[in-house]
Amino acid sequence: MTQLRTIRNSPLEQMRRRGRVKVSHAPTSGARRRRLSPDDEQTLRDLLLNEQDYIDSPVFYEEDAEQKIYADAPDIRKPDTSWYHPVMDDLSPSRTREYKGAEQVILTAAEERVLFHQYNYARHRVHNLQLAVWATPDRQPTDEQAEEMLRWNRLAVRLREQIANTNLALVLAMAKRTRMSEVDFADLVSEGNMALLRAVDKFDVGRGFKFSTYACRAILKAFSRQGMKLSKHRQRFPTDFDPKLERSNFLELKRADFEKDAADEVRRIVVENRADLSAIERTVIEHRFGIETDDFEKPMTLEQVGQIIGVTKERVRQIQNKALEKIRLELEINYLGTVDEEAEAEAEGAVKKAVASLN
């Protein structure tokens, strides 16, 4: 059976079908044929070109199989995938928040059996219709065959989507378990989604296993292939060091030079007393920050300066803050000058850092 399907799906056989298959709008048996939409016409052409694959089951050949599989089967809740879309908009492997929807559905083994039997039976019916059409001399489907083929195909697509949506959380769970820093997380999830759809097509529910067991394995193998593909691509197209792609540190160096110049200017203001500091204010600043290097080896604490001038350390702090405010105003007036707003804001920030360096 597998060998026969391989022959029917060979490239040569597909080329022959492409030349033979036609979708006619001509009336049959004197009846007016319903005109198909362009999408239905394209779907019908694709179905007649490629043989429909499916997972066979003895249930399909029982008496009243369609009745048992669909009409007598219990209703299964459809999943709510609204929780999945915000996750895809902002994916990050470091996120620890769990995304769960209020209507997230976890299927039992019996419910999975029902869905997969329905899905594969629909594909089984499409396959039988394909064989019936290909057996005719003109290889053109009748009105009834076209309608039936499209109806069963729509049902198969809907069931496939339902099964995949129910198990979307498996992709995120496997992606978070995979440690592949070289692969973008969004690309990893996208590859996992494709692997999930392939797993839905290949899963044989008759073996008695849960779909999650098969799907998780398939998703992890897809992640591994993605990593190997990226690794081979990097080996084939290595990226050499390019200084042009390095980030420039011009702004950082310029800002550091400006701050150094501003600090030197602050020292000159204190030494030359251009800020009109009082004698006590100048004494506090010189002792606190070691401005006069000839007399002081290192800055003093507030308490040490207070012992020298005979006041408390809190009073020394008040005198110091008042003196620093005078220095800042003098520095902004004479050092900044008249510049545009953006440059002035940047320079003012550097000046504040220079004054704060004394604090």
Q: Which domains does the chain have, with CATH numbers?
A: 2-21+35-236 (1.20.120), 250-356 (1.10.10.10)
Average pLDDT over residues 190-214: 93
% of the chain residues with pLDDT over 70: 72
> Which pLDDT band holds residue 17 (cuts at 50, 70, 90)?
low
Alpha-carbon span 59 to 68, nearest angstrom:
9
What are the residues whose beta carbons fall under 8 Å from the beta carbon of 58, sequence distance 6 or more? Answer: none
pLDDT digit string, tens, across residues 254-305: 888 877 887 788 788 888 888 888 888 888 888 887 776 454 457 788 888 8
Within 10 angstroms of residue 11's Cβ, the number of other Cβ atoms is: 7
**Is the pLDDT reported for residue 201 higher than 90?**
yes
Residue whose tokens read 């920030």: 349
Percent of the chain past pLDDT 90, that is, above it, reads 31
- 270 neighbors 277 (Cβ within 8 angstroms): yes
- The pTM for the full model equals 0.57
Distance between CA atoms of 29 and 25, rounded to whole angstroms?
Answer: 13
Least confident stretch, 19-23, 122-126, 179-183, 262-266: 19-23
Average pLDDT (88-95) is: 50
Task: Write the pLDDT tens digit of every residue in 310-353.
Answer: 889 899 889 888 888 888 888 777 766 544 455 555 555 555 55
pLDDT (tens digit, 9 = 90+) per residue, 227-240? 888 777 666 766 66
Assigned token pair, 177: 């378990």
Q: Given this model, what pLDDT does residue 161 score? A: 94
For 221, how many CA atoms within 13 A lie in the half-sphere containing its CB?
A: 10
Q: Where are the alpha helices (DSSP H) in the chain?
A: 2-8, 11-20, 38-49, 65-66, 84-89, 109-134, 143-166, 168-177, 185-202, 211-236, 250-272, 279-289, 302-309, 313-331, 341-356
Q: b/e map of 224-252 (b: 16 or more CB within 10 Å)? A: eebbeeeeeeeeeeeeeeeeeeeeeeeee
pLDDT of residue 173: 87
SS3 (DSSP) at 196: helix
Statement: residue 73 has pLDDT above 60: yes
Predicted pLDDT of residue 257 = 82
Residues 84, 103: Cα–Cα separation, whole Å = 12
CA gap 171, 196 in Å, rounded = 8
Nearest to 172 by CA among 108, 77, 76, 81: 81
CB atoms under 10 Å from CB of 308, counted, come to 12
pLDDT band at 244 (very low <50, low <70, confident <90, very high): low
Q: Please list, residue by residue across 67-84, b when 16 or more beta carbons sit within 10 angstroms of its beta carbon and e when fewer do.
A: eebeeeeeebeebebebb
**Average pLDDT rounded to a whole number, residues 4-8:** 52
At 189 the three-state DSSP class reads: helix
pLDDT (tens digit per residue) in 133-159: 999 988 889 999 999 999 999 999 999
Cα diameter, the chain: 120
Res. 99: pLDDT tops 70: no
- For residue 25, the model assigns a pLDDT of 47
Quote the mean pLDDT of the chain: 78
pLDDT at 340: 46
Residue 22 has pLDDT above 70, yes or no: no
